[in-house]
Structure 1
Amino acid sequence: MGIVLNQSLKNTIITYIGFAIGGFNTIYLYPVFLGAAYYGLTNYIVSSANVIMPLFAIGMQNTLVKFYSQYKTHEERSRFLSFTVLFPLLFIIPLCLFGFIFFDEIVAFLSKKNLIVKNYIWLIPFIGVSMAYFEIFYAWLRVHMHSVFGNFIKEVALRLASLVLLIAVYYGWMSVEGFVYATAIVYFLALLVTMFYAFSIQAPNFQFSIPDNTKEVLVYSFYIILSGSVANLLLDGDKMILNQYMKIDNIAFYSVATYIALVISVPSRAMHQIVYPITAKLMHENNHDEMNSLYKKTSINLQVVGGLVMLGIFVNINMLYEIITAGLKDPAEKELYLSGITVVFMIGLSKYFDLILGNNNAIIFNTKYYRAVLFLGVLLVVLTVGLNMIFIPIYGIIGSAFATLLSITLYSLAKLLFVVKRLHLYPFTKQTLYSIYLTAVLFVVFYFWDFPFHPIVSISLKSILVTIAYVYLNYKFVISLQINEFIDVLLKKFKIVR
């Protein structure tokens, strides 16, 4: 677990730095500098690109991780790397031609509610292709145990670039329309930087040949396309549907709330980058006991860390929204932003439940049983779209959040039951219940207690008290052995204890 802890810790720090930058952008700069309409437009373009990205990547980022370690010679690995980079072009080119031929019909459908999106539709496939190849080259780095650089580009560099662009808008160096186009260029540059770094780790030796196990690879890739489409639709599909039913401004209100809630999933995203290849190796070796141990460790460790993040967000949410709406002059717009508090709770709980499943996804995608769960995911996407179409016209963004909560929870529960029943792997222990109980108690204690100071001061003070109480109680009751050992090392290092 040494390399897991080392790179997971680095990835966690990097990801939180990125989320801090993104949080500053989301909470203050986007609403004030861009305004609700162009903030909603930018989110719609990027979210739509993220939804179609799996079709462009055709699952090669996951396929690369799963099969790379199975090739033994340098020649086999070079051939496989070439295949993962070149094969997606067989899908990208026809999809782009299809979009070109039916461009007018696509534009008419997507802009029927919000005409503002009409001139920016072509950016969706451009960003989607950039995202797809970024993920492929990021996987290239991960199989060589160099996950930190790609994680930095994905989590920090992209958000830092947005920060610079927002400042440019503020000073009049760039128009809000130019910001949308510049965002697309940033994603393309992220691809180029990651690609050249991947080539520096292992120089490419492109060859127009296919691996010996091509059939197995392609079958797996097909199901990973379904998996990626399911995951991304559950993450960003609601924003696409909102565009069809409501003014695009509502995507801005919804995006602020969902971004805040997504912070809860940061520990999982960070650990996943390095745990996925190790899970693939253990599953390939059929090492059940070690896999079961890893499953439990990732589950409780993510629950403890994610629980602290969720608790910090939930108990400070009212003060946080005071900061978000402080720079807004329109009372109606402020009220619409405040409606996002309910969205934060709904999306946050769904992310917390998904978090405590540990490396559940990595386990499923590296077994022969992954197909059944993926088809179940497709059914849940249909359910998600249907629920959004029902609840958005009635309850607006809160209806969309409820549809997402219900869909993600059902999907996560289905995957959990599948792993337990089929593979006899169990993520939960009695510490799982203890952690949930401690988190719930501390929420009740701190949620209704606010300091009569400036929101930033109040959030800081409450966060410090919550962190001290949470860490102390988790340490005292030994919720996670690994986290307790890590704390002991820190205490000895700073000579607090001997």
Structure 2
Amino acid sequence: MGIVINQSIKNTVITYIGFAIGAVNSLYMYPHFLEEEFYGITTYILSSANVLFPLMAFGVHNTLIKFFSEYKTENEKKQFLGFVLALPLLIIIPVFAISILGYDSIASFLSRKNHVVYDYVWQIPIIALCMGYFEIFYAWVKVHMQSVYGNFLKEIGLRILISIFLLGVYFQVITVEQFITATMFAYLISMLLMLFYANKVQPISFRFKIPNNAKAILVYSSFIILSGSVANMLLDIDKTMLNQYIEIKNLSYYSVAIFIATVIAVPSRSMHQITYPITAKLMIENKYDELNDLYKKSSITLQIIGGLIYVGIIVNINQLYLLLPDNYRGGIFVVFVIGLSKYFDLILGNNNSIIFNSKYYRAVLFLGLLLGFFAVTLNMIFIPKYGIDGAAIATLISITLYSIAKLLFVVLKMKLYPFTVKNIYALLIGLLCFFGFYYWEFPFHPILNIMLKSALVAIVYVGIVYKARLSGDINGVIEKVFKKLYSN
């Protein structure tokens, strides 16, 4: 776990800096610099692109990681990369052809509730394309154990560009309409920078040569396209479907609540950048004892870190919403519900990495497709009745069922177990801190309240976790920090 912890810490720091920038964007600049309608349009376009991008990438960002270790020479690895870089064209070319020829019909259908969306639908496949190839180039550097720069681009660089464009709107350098198009170019720039860095880490060959295991690659990629689409659909279908039932400005309120809740998932995103290739390597080498150990460690570590963040958000949520415009304050319920789904997903550790690199990925995929249909149905039922709260409820049910299904597959089919009694202790510590701090506030400004309460929650939570020795990795980091402080 040494390299995992090392790069996970760096990625976590980078990701939280990115989230800090994102917080300024989402919680202040977007609500104050853009009209609610245009904030909603931006959210809709990016969410729709995120649903589409696994299809545009042809699943090869996961395929590259799974099969990379099977190639022994550098020449074979480069030829493999050239092959997988060409595979997405099988989807990209027909998608763009359909988008161009049928734009009017497609855009009219997607904008039937909110007509203002019509003029921006064309940007969705372009952003999806940029997202897809970014992840492919990012996968190339991850298999070379270099995950930090790509994470920097994804979490910080992209958000800085968005901040610059938002400031452009504020100072009337660009219009709000031009801002939406500038957002598309931000994703294009990020993709190109990732390409240049990937080529620097290990030169990329664009020579097309079909490898001997091409059939296995195509089969795996085809299933990963669908599984990735299901996973992204469960994450973003709510925002996409809200546009079909309620006014687009409500999407801006939902987006703020989702952003707050998504902070809980940062540790998972950071750790998975490095655990994914390690999981693939352990499975290829049949080192299942080490894999089971990694599974348990990732579960308790992510639960502890994610639990602290979730408790910190919930106990401060009322004060946090006092900092937002009045219209945005109806999203507290959404934060609680979506945060709960993120917390449950965290405690599964590197569950996804294990499934996507196992022979059972096809079976889970079919189950995922069923649950994807279930998610769409739930959103169709709950959104018309309860608006953004209904979308949150549908998302919680869908993600929870999907997570349980994946967990059962790993436990029953592969005999790998993520949980120990320590997971129960971590849950109890979180509940203790929640009930201990939620029901009282300092009589100060909201920002000062948040700072003071967060500090107290962190001291109590981390102190109990450290004394209980729930995670050797976390205790090791704490002891290393104290050693540096005392040595200075």
TM-score calculated relative to the size of structure 2: 0.99
Pair 1:439 & 2:443 matched: no
User: How many residues of Structure 1 are paired with residues of Structure 2 in the alignment?
Assistant: 488
Q: How do 1:391-470 residues align onto structure 2 when only pairs under 5 Å count?
A: 391-470=382-461
User: In 1, Cα distance between the equivalents of 2:4 and 2:468?
Assistant: 25
Q: Which residue of 1 aligns with 2:103?
A: 103
Q: Which residue of 2 aligns with 1:58?
A: 58
Q: Which residue of 2 aligns with 1:133?
A: 133
2:66 maps to amino acid: K
Q: Percent sequence identity over matched residues? A: 58
User: In 1, Cα distance between the equivalents of 2:345 and 2:353?
Assistant: 13
User: In 1, Cα distance between the equivalents of 2:9 and 2:473?
Assistant: 13
User: In 2, Cα distance between the equivalents of 1:34 and 1:207?
Assistant: 45
Pair 1:282 & 2:282 matched: yes
User: In 1, Cα distance between the equivalents of 2:443 and 2:23?
Assistant: 24
Q: Which residue of 2 aligns with 1:357?
A: 348
Moved over 4 A (4+): none
Q: Which residue of 1 aligns with 2:121?
A: 121
User: In 2, Cα distance between the equivalents of 1:273 and 1:383?
Assistant: 29
Post-superposition CA distance 1:377-426 (Å, at most 9, x none)? 11111001000000100000000000000000000011111101011111
Query: Which stretch shows the higher mean deviation, 196-205 or 135-144?
Result: 196-205
Q: How do 1:159-238 residues align onto structure 2 when only pairs under 5 Å count?
A: 159-238=159-238
For residue 73 of structure 1, report the CA deviation from its aligned partner. Answer: 1.4
Post-superposition CA distance 1:124-182 (Å, at most 9, x none)? 01111111111100101111111101100101111111111111111111111110000
Post-superposition CA distance 1:194-247 (Å, at most 9, x none)? 001111111122222111101111111011101110111111111110000000
Which consecutive unaligned segments of at least 5 residues does structure 1 have?
326-333
User: In 2, Cα distance between the equivalents of 1:267 and 1:18?
Assistant: 13
Q: Which residue of 1 aligns with 2:266?
A: 266
2:366 equivalent among 354, 375, 393:
375
Pair 1:27 & 2:53 matched: no
User: In 1, Cα distance between the equivalents of 2:466 and 2:35?
Assistant: 44
Pair 1:299 & 2:299 matched: yes
User: In 2, Cα distance between the equivalents of 1:269 and 1:74?
Assistant: 29
User: In 1, Cα distance between the equivalents of 2:30 and 2:9?
Assistant: 29
Query: Which stretch shows the higher mean deviation, 394-403 or 207-216?
Result: 207-216
Where 2:35 maps in the other structure, the secondary structure is: helix
1:360 maps to amino acid: N
Query: Which stretch shows the higher mean deviation, 256-265 or 90-99?
Result: 90-99
Where 1:351 maps in the other structure, the secondary structure is: helix
1:490 equivalent among 458, 481, 484:
481
RMSD: 1.1
User: In 2, Cα distance between the equivalents of 1:428 and 1:485?
Assistant: 21
Post-superposition CA distance 1:268-310 (Å, at most 9, x none)? 0000000000000001111111001000000000011111111
Post-superposition CA distance 1:419-453 (Å, at most 9, x none)? 01011111011110000011001101101111111
User: In 2, Cα distance between the equivalents of 1:104 and 1:488?
Assistant: 61
Q: Which residue of 2 aligns with 1:480?
A: 471
Where 1:203 maps in the other structure, the secondary structure is: coil
For residue 496 of structure 1, report the CA deviation from its aligned partner. Answer: 8.1
For residue 314 of structure 1, report the CA deviation from its aligned partner. Answer: 0.5
